[in-house]
Amino acid sequence: MLFLSRHPAPCALDRSPGGINAAKNYRNDGDSIFRLFKDTVKGGDFRAREANVYRLAQISLNIIDQCVAQGVPFAREYGGFLDTRSFGGVQVQRTFYARGQTGQQLLLGAYQALEEQVAAGTVTMHIRRELLDVVIVNGRARGIVTRDLVTGQLECHAADVIVLATGGYSNVFYLSTNAKASNCTAIWRAHRRGALFGNPCFTQIHPTCIPLSSEHQSKLTLMSESLRNDGRVWVPKKKGETRAANDIPENERDYYLERRYPSFGNLVPRDVASRNAKEVCDEGRGVGPRGQGVYLDFADAIHRLGLETVRDKYGNLFDIYERITGENAYTVPMRIYPAPHYTMGGLWVDYHLMSTIPGLFVGGEANFSDHGANRLGASALMQGLADGYFILPYTVPDYIASIALDPVDVSLPPFTAAKAEVKSRFEALIAVKGKRSPDSFHRELGEIIWDNCGMARSDAGLRKALARIPELREEFWRNLRVVGGDDELNQTLEKANRVSDFLEIAELMCVDALHRTESCGCHFRVESQTPEGEAKRDDANFSYTAAWGWKGSGQAPALHKEPLTFEYVPLSQRSYK
C-alpha cells in the first residue's frame, strides 16, 4: 500500500531543478567511485558513515541507467552522450540534469513506473492521506494512523513493514525553499514512538536563493546551484554602496569567493558560500532593498559563451527570477541570499535503512544517513533514489524473510489506542479557541530558529531559543485559533497539527546544536572557528553521530553516540582554497 499526501505530490523532488550526481566519468575528467565517495565524506565535514557513503557512490552509476530506462529525458551532448555539469564542492563535472527540471522529470519517470504497477494490481494507492502516527505491536512497527485530508476521517492500516519517505523539516524555519506542505509530523511521531533522531541540528542553508522582499512573504525560491557554474558572485567593495550594479566599475567589485577560495572559486560548497554571503552582508556590503543580498553576475558568461548558450542552459531559471523580481538577469546581475533548504538530520537508520523501531524503515531526506554535516549539491536526489531503487528493495524483503511476523489487524488495542490519541490531539487543537492563527505561531518560531539556530549558532543564542520555544509552545496550546471541525476538509487544523510538531522538533535542534560545541559543515558555532573564520571541527570530542531518544514532553532527550571512524578518507581540516 502506498500513502501519498497528494498525487502528483508537491514535494522537494518535484522542485529540484539542478541535477543528480553519478561517478560515470563520461567527461573523462578523472572522476571515479572513490572520488565521489571522498568528495562526499569531505563535503559532509567528516560527520557521515564512511560505509554508507561508499555504497552511495557505487550505486550512483546504476541510478542514471535506471532513470534513462524509465524514460527520464536527461540533457544530451551533440554526440548523443548524456551531458553533465559541475556543482559546488567538486572539481569534476558529474551532475546529470534535465535542463532546469531534473527533479520533476525524475518524478514523472517514477510515476510512470508506479502507475504500471497500480494497473497490474501490485500497488494500492491511498491519495490525500496524511500519516499521523506509527503503530507499534510487540516492539515492531506494524501499522499507521492516517487522516483523509478531504473527509477528515481517521483510518488505521496494518502492515508487515512501514517505510517513511516523508522528506525533511526545513519548514521549521517557516521560510524555506521546501514545498509549503513539507512537514516533520511523520518522522516526529515515529520519534515519539521510539525511533532515535540523528543529528537534528544539521540543517543546510542554501546560498543561491532569491532574497526575501517583504516580511509578509510565506515562501522562498531557490535559484539552482548550477547557476554558480557560470555566474560570478560579488558585492561592492564599499559599504553602503547606492549605485546600480552595472554602474559599479570592475575595480570596485569584490569577487569574494574567487578571492578567498582560488581553487574552487564560485563553486565552493554550500555552507562556505552561505557563510561568506552572510559575512559580507553583515559588514554592510549587501545589495538590494534590505541589504541582504549578493550579486550573481552572468555578464562574463554571456560575453564568453553567447546569450543563446546561457539561455539554453539556464533559461527557465532566468524566467522564474524575472517573474518573481521583475528584473531581467541577462542585463542586470541576479541578487541572491541564503535560505533554509535541506535537513541532513533525520531519523537515525542502520546500514539497512531501518530505524531503531524494528520494521520501520526510512528513506530519502527523512533519514539522517549519508550527508554528514553538509550536503553537496545534486547529491540529495542521488541518495533518495539510491535508497528507493537500490537499497530498500533488498533490505525490506531481507527483514521480512528473517523473522516470523505474527498476523495483525486494526482491531488490536495498539491500533485503537493510537487512533484515539490522534483523535484527542485534533480535538484539543480545536478546543483551544484562542486568538492566534497556526501561521502566526509558525512565523514566530521560524524567526527564533533562524536567528539562533540558523547560519551561525552561539551558546548564548541557543540558550535564548531554548528558553523561548517552550514559552511559545505553552502559548500555542493556550491561545491557538482553529476554525471548523476535525471531521471535514480543514487545512487550518492540518497546519496547526504540523506546527505543534515543529514546536517540538525546534527544541531538539537547539539542544543538539548547544551540545555540539564544535563547528562542522553547516553547523557553525561562532565559538569554534579557525583564524580565517572557517568551521573548526573538534574530532577528539565530536567524531560521532548524535542520536537522540524521546523521553517525554518537557523531559530532556537522551543522547546516544554512534562513533564515526575514517579508514579510507583520513580526517583532515577541509580546505577549498
Ligand X SMILES: Cc1cc2nc3c(=O)[nH]c(=O)nc-3n(C[C@H](O)[C@H](O)[C@H](O)COP(=O)(O)OP(=O)(O)OC[C@H]3O[C@@H](n4cnc5c(N)ncnc54)[C@H](O)[C@@H]3O)c2cc1C
Chain positions contacting ligand X, by CB under 6 A: 3, 5, 9, 11-13, 15-20, 102-103, 130-131, 165-167, 177-178, 181-183, 185-186, 222, 224, 342, 364-366, 378-381, 384
Coil, helix or strand for 89?
coil
436: which strand partners? 480
CB of 568 to ligand X, least distance (A): 24
Q: Is the dihedral of CA 2, 384, 16, 174 positive or negative?
A: positive
Nearest CB to ligand X, comparing residues 227 and 456? 227
CB of 9 to ligand X, least distance (A): 3
Nearest CB to ligand X, comparing residues 131 and 535? 131
C-beta atoms surrounding 559 within 10 Å: 14
Closest CA to 93 of 34, 44, 32, 29: 29
Nearest CB to ligand X, comparing residues 364 and 461? 364
CB of 30 to ligand X, least distance (A): 22
**Rounded Cα–Cα distance for residues 346 and 209 (Å):** 23
Starting at the edge strand found earlier in the chain, the sheet holding 558-563 runs 346-347, 197-198, 544-549, 558-563
Is the bond preceding 289 in cis, omega lying within 30 degrees of 0?
no
Catalytic residue among 35, 55, 142, 270: 270
Assess whether 270 carries a catalytic annotation: yes
CB of 49 to ligand X, least distance (A): 18
Nearest CB to ligand X, comparing residues 5 and 25? 5
Nearest CB to ligand X, comparing residues 248 and 522? 522
Q: At what angle do helices 438-453 and 491-515 cross, to 10 degrees?
A: 20
CB of 312 to ligand X, least distance (A): 18
CB-side exposure of 327: number of CA atoms within 13 Å? Answer: 17
Contacts of 257 (CB under 8 A, 6+ apart): 233, 264, 265, 266, 268, 273, 276
CB of 515 to ligand X, least distance (A): 26
C-beta atoms surrounding 110 within 10 Å: 18
**Rounded Cα–Cα distance for residues 333 and 255 (Å):** 13
Nearest CB to ligand X, comparing residues 10 and 194? 10
What are the C-alpha distances in Å from 323 to residues 103, 221, 246, 316, 515?
21, 11, 21, 10, 43
How many residues would you count in the chain? 577
Nearest CB to ligand X, comparing residues 167 and 333? 167
452: which strand partners? none
- Cβ 266 vs Cβ 260: under 8 Å: no
**Rounded Cα–Cα distance for residues 478 and 464 (Å):** 22
Nearest CB to ligand X, comparing residues 293 and 346? 346
Which residue is closest to ligand X by CB?
A: 364
Contacts of 489 (CB under 8 A, 6+ apart): 149, 150, 151, 152
Nearest CB to ligand X, comparing residues 386 and 408? 386
> The C-alpha cell of 30 is what?
578523472
Nearest CB to ligand X, comparing residues 167 and 293? 167
CB of 188 to ligand X, least distance (A): 9
What are the C-alpha distances in Å from 248 to residues 210, 238, 295, 297?
21, 10, 12, 12
Contacts of 378 (CB under 8 A, 6+ apart): 18, 19, 20, 21, 87, 95, 225
Q: At what angle do helices 491-515 and 185-192 cross, to 10 degrees?
A: 60
CB of 216 to ligand X, least distance (A): 21
CB-side exposure of 152: number of CA atoms within 13 Å? Answer: 14
CB of 387 to ligand X, least distance (A): 8
Contacts of 389 (CB under 8 A, 6+ apart): 62, 63, 66
CB of 203 to ligand X, least distance (A): 12
Instruction: Give the active site residues.
Output: 270
